[in-house]
Amino acid sequence: MTSARRNVALFIAVAVFCSLGAKMSTPASAGPALAAIIQKSSGLFGLPANAQSVDWMVVNDSLASATFTVTVFKAGVGAKTTVPPGTLSFTVPPGEVRHNANSVGVGQPFVPGFYYEVVVQSTTPNLLPSVHVWQDHANTVIPGTLIPPGAWVTIQ
Residue 23 lies in a domain: no
CB 39 within 8 A of CB 70: no
pLDDT of 13 higher than 90: no
pLDDT at residue number 82: 96
pLDDT at residue number 2: 52
pLDDT in tens, 99-119: 999 999 999 999 999 999 999
Check residue 141 and report its DSSP letter.
Answer: B
Residue 98 lies in a domain: yes
Q: Please give the torsion angle defined by the CA atoms of residues 133, 5, 81 and 92, in that order, rounded to the nearest 10 degrees.
A: 10
Name the average pLDDT for the chain.
84
pLDDT of 29 higher than 60: no
**Total-model pTM:** 0.77
- Partnered with residue 97 across adjacent β-strands are 59
Q: What is the largest CA-CA distance in the chain?
A: 52
Domain CATH number, residue 84? 2.60.290
Residue 27 lies in a domain: no
Residue 77 lies in a domain: yes
Percent of the chain with pLDDT over 70: 78
Residue 30 lies in a domain: no
pLDDT of 128 higher than 70: yes
pLDDT in tens, 58-93: 999 999 999 999 999 999 888 899 999 999 999 999
Percent of the chain with pLDDT over 90: 72
pLDDT at residue number 34: 62
| Per-residue pLDDT band at 14 (split at 50, 70, 90) | very low
Residue 70 lies in a domain: yes
Print the domain residue range for 50: 39-155
Give the count of domains, the chain: 1
Residue 114 lies in a domain: yes
Higher pLDDT, 12 or 32: 32
Residue 10 lies in a domain: no
Distance from C-alpha of 48 to C-alpha of 136, rounded to nearest angstrom: 12
Higher pLDDT, 60 or 13: 60
